[in-house]
Amino acid sequence: MVAAGCLGLMLPIATASGESAGWVTALFTATSAVCITGLVVVDTAAHWSVFGEVLIATLIQIGGLGIMTLATLLTLTVSGRLGLRARLSAQAETKAATMAGLPRVVRDVVVFSLICEAVAAVVLSLRFLIAYGEPPGRAIYLGIFHTISAFNNAGFALWPDNLTRFVTDPWVCLTIAAAVIAGGLGFPVVFELLRSWRRPRYWTMLTRLTVTVTIILLAGGTLVFLAAEWDNPATLGPLDAGGRLLAAFFAAVMPRTAGFNSLDLSQMHHSSWLATDVLMFIGGGSAGTAGGIKVTTVGMLAFIVWAQLRGEPHVNIGHRRLPAATQRQAVALTLLSGGLVAVSTYLLLVLTPYRLDQVLFEAVSAFATVGLSTGITADMPAAGHLLLVALMFAGRVGPLTLGSALALKEHVRRYELPETTMIVG
């Protein structure tokens, strides 16, 4: 899909000027769209024609549906490697689909995505038509494009300032935020919430952990941005109390890997950049359109640390024990992801003239497929753009396939070595 999108965007008909886009620009944009990231090296509305914008939206839609479907199928593949007794127990616990129900799973993913996008598109189209005086055709076009971009956590926008002109508009900001959260929670969690949202005590541990950590991150992120940017004249300062709360909440939702911004990120305090880095690296829920190492991984790591601090022999989450293999998978995924971001940040420091905080923000945004930027993406050299392309691709397919591979790769050892002790810390 990246190769096909690159070739399509290199066509003269794809640009507003009628001239063929450079292959680096086309490759970067296609990768950002298919990997549902949102980083851009050119102004989407000014550089691309209607054909190019439609192609970008199509790549985003295919990328989002593909990731959700692939994540669900890999989840079923992992469960298929379990023994019969374990599979029956897991299915009873999670109400998960069986391997025989794959067509229904794919159908449900597609139907759910299209329904969510249709609802959000209607709201946005009416808002653009009534409140901003857009012609009916243009309003519908804007509503559909930004809904696809929001639900799939892409972050592409058709205005040069992204969504800063709507910073105090709750209809636009909350609709896009709701679409981002719905797409980022993950297909299994959303469907369980739809089935039993009134009975939280019957939720599986995956749903409980995803919902709990998501709420903590959204609330905590909102408070951090309010505290850090309250008096900043270039961000929250000129807004009233309600506008500040809305803008801070929107800023806390977008690092879940959506990439929209209603505030000028380049004018934020560096403390806000660091908070955004953390939120971006964590990302959203599993088997959804969000990137990052996922909220479930962070939740498991928190319980691992808590059990170690209390001296517990096992890691318990609620009334369930977390297997040692799953603990190792969470630690391995986090360390490998952090190492990849660190190496990429170092390379960007070598390749570009920018500061550490700027290139770290860019590297985390690319790896976590977020799309937020401090404004340096377009001015990077071609080598920096190609590094970000590789990082976006690795960040989109890497954590998903690595997590599945770690779960599937299990060797049975018929002997145990004697234990030894090591000094930690």
CB atoms within 10 A of CB 220: 14
Residues 110 and 67: their CA atoms lie apart, in Å, by 11
In the prediction, which pLDDT does 40 show?
93
Residues 53 and 49: their CA atoms lie apart, in Å, by 6
Q: Which two three-digit tokens encode residue 317?
A: 């989450």
Mean of all residue pLDDT scores within the chain: 87
How would residue 258 be classed by pLDDT, with cut points 50, 70 and 90? Answer: confident
Residues 5 and 389: their CA atoms lie apart, in Å, by 14
- Report DSSP state, residue 132: S
CA 102 to chain centre: 24
In the prediction, which pLDDT does 91 show?
43
Highest mean pLDDT among 121-125, 292-296, 421-425: 121-125
For the segment 419-423, the average pLDDT, to the nearest whole number, is 80
Query: Given a cut of 90, is residue 197 above it in pLDDT?
Result: no
In the prediction, which pLDDT does 206 show?
85
Q: Which pTM was predicted?
A: 0.88
In the prediction, which pLDDT does 77 show?
59
- Amino acid type, 331: V
In the prediction, which pLDDT does 217 show?
95
How would residue 203 be classed by pLDDT, with cut points 50, 70 and 90? Answer: confident
How would residue 4 be classed by pLDDT, with cut points 50, 70 and 90? Answer: very high
In the prediction, which pLDDT does 117 show?
94
- The per-residue pLDDT for range 326-372, each reduced to its tens digit, is 888 888 889 989 999 999 999 999 999 999 999 999 999 999 999 99
Comparing 168-177, 253-262, 302-311, 316-325, the range with the smallest average pLDDT is 316-325
DSSP 356-417: HHHHHHHHHHHHTT----SS-STTS-HHHHHHHHHHHHHHHHHHHHHHHHHHH--PPPS--P
The residues spanned by each domain of the chain are 2-408
Residues 327 and 300: their CA atoms lie apart, in Å, by 7
